[in-house]
Amino acid sequence: TALHYGYPLCDPGTVVSTARLSRVVDYPARDMTVTVEAGIRMEQLNELLDRERQRLPIDIPQLHRATLGGVLATNSNGPRRYGYGTLRDYVIGVSAIDGRGNLFHAGGRVVKNVAGYDLCKLMIGSLGTLAVITQVTLKLRPVPETSSWLWCSYPTWQQLDEALERLTTTATRPVAMIALNARAARQIVNEIHLDVPVESPTLALAIEGTQKETEWQSSVLKDELSFTGASAMYDIPGHHGESVWTALTDYPVVTDEPLTFRANMLPSRAAGFMERADATGISLMSHIGNGIVIGHFPDDWI
């Protein structure tokens, strides 16, 4: 799903498929770790973990196609990055084959292991340039009881930026913080058939936990944001909330537009960047708590 990442090859190479490296090597659910081969599809891995009410809290587009090894090589992540971090926080062991055909190991199968230089983190995001990943050990998290979104519309980007500043002192713990311009918000809403405002800048906040925790956090967030100029605030719970997760995760790759970009910046500058880019007519989504902006250019830009 990410063959276009990185620079093109300078010389002819040999294609090596890891599709058959899909075994589950070890899954001691009580230890909340799992060891699998790197060719396993992310959809298959999620189904395995869900039987034990566990998960790898990393949002991956096109789960039915993406493999764990590819996800590690490209350091893929999505909306939950704000609350749960990236793959670097969950990989505790790796086996791989270097360019000379030598098998090597790094890390281990337990969470508390200190074994010299952390090669695991070096492999993540290396785009396959250092080695072919063959086996991975991950630490896991429990699946929360409930999850919901708070969808907030703002008349201007400045007011949305003021809301973000207010959230730096919030008593709650959102696990995702997403900003959308009107064009991107319409795309998301039309895809999942959701009845919420989409004609102005949108701030979407995700909260997870027990039923009591999510209800409390939703109530507190509404109180805290009530003085920031929001024109509307809507709760999106249950299966609609799951649809929002999927649509936002797939947003960077599921598009008919001819060109997509990703920009990384300080979180404090993301809203200003989106305001300027919004004036050009492109579709914009931001993991605004992390300073990541993703945009789709329309046909008339090419």
| Tokens, residue 96 | 């791989």
Q: How many CB atoms lie within 10 A of CB 255?
A: 15
Could you give the dihedral angle defined by the CA atoms of residues 126, 42, 235 and 152, in that order, rounded to the nearest 10 degrees?
20
How much is the pLDDT for 112?
63
- Distance from chain centroid for Cα 167: 20
Q: For residue range 187-214, what is the model confidence (pLDDT) as tens digits?
A: 999 888 888 888 999 999 999 999 999 9
- pLDDT tens readout for residues 87-140: 999 999 999 999 899 999 988 877 666 556 778 889 999 988 899 999 999 999
Average pLDDT over residues 220-242: 89
Measured at the CA of 194, the angle between CA 191 and CA 200, to 5 degrees, comes to: 90
Per the CB < 8 A criterion, the answer to whether 247 and 188 are in contact is yes
pTM: 0.89
